Amino acid sequence: MKFTFAHNNFNVLDLEKSIAFYDKALGLKVVRTYEPEDGSFKLAYLGDGTSPHKLELTWLRDQEEPYNLGDNEFHLALETDDMKAAHALHTEMECICYENTEMGIYFINDPDGYWIEIIPAGKY
């Protein structure tokens, strides 16, 4: 028996705002959506165009309060082939929330407060 990663999920308050953020900050594009007839939720699957792994963004119609992320100890990590350009973009977007210069990595946060680790390609 073998298992492979399919997707990770983040619940979001504003689906369109989150889709725009992930597109601008990380180049992730919507590859599939789903919405039931009753409109109680919407799913948007984002992909990087290279790997099969997806980020599923879930919007729930009845959710009005921000999600409790606890200590926010979980995160996604994405590699980049150009740390300097990525850092400049994320600085401009004012979404860098933590930097570890000794390790050569940093984290950005999305509109709902989820952390995304940015690492140089091939380093970790």
Asked about 37 being catalytic, the answer comes back as no
How many residues does the structure list for the chain?
124
Instruction: Determine which one of 56, 65, 94, 117 is catalytic.
Output: 117
Cα separation of 68 and 45, whole Å? 22
d(CA 44, CA 54): 10
In this structure, the strands spanning 41-47 and 29-34 are: antiparallel
| Residues designated as active site | 117
